[in-house]
Amino acid sequence: MPITSNEISVEVNGQGYILPAGSTLGDALKVSRAPYIAGAAVGILKKAAEKRTEEVTEYAINTPKGELRIEIKDPESSSGKLWAEHYKEYEGKSIHWASPEAVAFGPFEADIKPSRETGSFEAFDVLFGAGGFDSHNTHLILSRRRHTAEYGAPAEGVFAAVVTGRKIIFKLSREDSILSIDPVIEWEQLAEKTCTTDLSVPLEDEDSIFTYFEVELSRNAPVGAEHFYALTREGTFNVDVVTSSFISDDILREVPVPYENFEARREGTISMRTVGYGTGRTYISREERPSSLVHSVVGQVTKGLELIKLAEKGQKLSVESLPPQIILLGHSFEEAEPVLSSIGVELIRDGYTGKDSVIVRQDPPTTLEILGEAKVTAYAVSRAKLIEVELYPERAPKSVDFFRHSLELKTKTVGKLPVHMIYDDTYLFKTEEKVVKYKEVLPENTPTGKVLAGEIGITNQAAKRMGTIGVRLVDDDLFGPTGEKLSSTNIIGRIVEPERLKEIKEGDSIYIIEAARRRIDDQENQE
């Protein structure tokens, strides 16, 4: 149905919508109900910008064995023009024949003038050829190695070359076909593009809008996938670094992640650095890069790659992960069982099983392993041992980072904290993670007056017991929560219900959950 002069046509994440002329980005988001996190950046690509790209010279050919790319050598040649006008017609074409020298997709009819001359071809050349010198029997031929042959190619012969994904050519067989062919647009060179958080931006006819990106996580990297879940816990990916070849999020930098999966880094590949400078940093590739022994591949962007290419430093992007993360920690068996049952996962109860139980450990520990085994053992304690804390990252950023890192709260929703010593109204804890070896605890947010009951302190490096965590159940204006003088104590937060500690004994362990995180989980349960 044609649109009127009072309307505009826009696309939101690939879906078309008709809006009144003068509509804003916010209007489009409301009408489309597109996935979007408030405050995240949205990409807008003008149709006019795409039209101004005079020559598309690179194309992505997707096959069951992977993606390869070809570059057109001469767009003005007859074969170059034929390709540009008809490349979509070659989608679905199977490999008709394959030899050590070349593979051929087809046949199909094409407007070419076959030549009977013998041609010389280099590895990775691309050409049209006519079986029996008949244009009704045309094939798309990809050369595997240097050779000579009579393919019935047009006089100009080779019109393109495979530039990336060359290994794919050697993996192709008679069972394979062309799944899709898409032009590669150099987004960075387009003038009329933007990535913005301003929802009042007016839209124009034929604008394309991208509100989020979707990631499919790899079963070959279950721990890395859990790292990505933790990174995007709030539904967003922070764009801390931008280059022509990648964007990266540094939130979990310095949090170790194992090397699990060796794969080529295609456009949209999610990878994590596992050793050296930047360990724990998460990358999303903007262009193809070779495999790396220090980058473990954990997933692939399956929708919204345009948003990755349009993103700017300092922004955050909305993201959805497949499959969704399974979060058991901090929940009761009664909350967890129906959710797991709905996805075909058996729940085995372990530990405390009373009505006030709360899950603090699970085996297997990762979402992808749980789904793979269709079974999970959940260990619970009484809710009295789940201690809710409110942390002060604005006042003591380094010390709060130390605390979260020590208890693995950067990647988990519940952390374990063993009770080291109890005397009078003072409770001292020692972390299981030996973060003290590589994390400094410099003085910050040291109290100058009274320390309130329930406040959490960490001994800083001005004292010998650096890294000790403590809480007192009474106010004190002489010593901090770890029993050190005030100048040797960093205050990092408070326990919401400190009286819960009265039931704790030396040798026990308590389990920590952040107050803000708990509120978010509760809201999700209500919804």
CATH number at residue 316: 2.40.100.10
Q: Is residue 53 part of a domain?
A: no
Q: Are 143 and 121 in contact (CB under 8 A)?
A: yes
Cα–Cα distance, 516 to 521 (Å, whole number) = 9
Compute the average pLDDT of residues 79-86: 92
Confidence class for position 165, pLDDT limits 50, 70, 90 = confident
Query: What is the token pair recorded at 366?
Result: 């990762």
- Both 370 and 403 in one domain: the answer is yes
Q: What is the pLDDT of residue 57?
A: 83
- Both 95 and 222 in one domain: the answer is no
- Both 431 and 443 in one domain: the answer is yes
Query: What do you get for the CA distance between the two ends of the chain, in Å?
Result: 38
At which residue do the structure tokens 């990092």 appear? 492
Q: Is residue 44 part of a domain?
A: no
- Both 251 and 330 in one domain: the answer is no
- Both 301 and 331 in one domain: the answer is no
Give the pLDDT confidence of 91-120 residue by residue, as tens digits. 999 999 999 999 999 999 999 999 888 999
**In percent, how much of the chain has pLDDT > 90?**
70
Q: Is residue 199 part of a domain?
A: no
Phi, psi of 479 (to 5 degrees): -130, 155
Give the pLDDT confidence of 35-70 residue by residue, as tens digits. 999 999 999 988 644 444 446 788 989 999 888 999
- Both 388 and 301 in one domain: the answer is no
Compute the average pLDDT of residues 340-365: 95
Compute the average pLDDT of residues 275-292: 89
Compute the average pLDDT of residues 268-278: 92
- Both 311 and 338 in one domain: the answer is no
Min mean pLDDT across 176-190, 228-242, 375-389, 477-491 is at: 176-190
- Both 269 and 146 in one domain: the answer is no
Can you give the residue range of the structural domain that contains 250?
210-322
pTM here? 0.71
Q: Is residue 107 part of a domain?
A: yes
- Both 339 and 378 in one domain: the answer is yes
Q: What is the pLDDT of residue 523?
A: 37
Q: Is residue 267 part of a domain?
A: yes
Give the pLDDT confidence of 420-453 residue by residue, as tens digits. 999 989 999 987 666 555 567 899 999 988 999 9
Q: Is residue 191 part of a domain?
A: no
Min mean pLDDT across 221-235, 308-322, 463-477 is at: 463-477
At which residue do the structure tokens 């049952």 appear? 341
Total domains in the fold of the chain: 4
Q: What is the pLDDT of residue 49?
A: 47
Q: Is residue 247 part of a domain?
A: yes
- Both 95 and 23 in one domain: the answer is no
- Both 64 and 159 in one domain: the answer is yes
- Both 511 and 372 in one domain: the answer is yes
Q: Is residue 43 part of a domain?
A: no
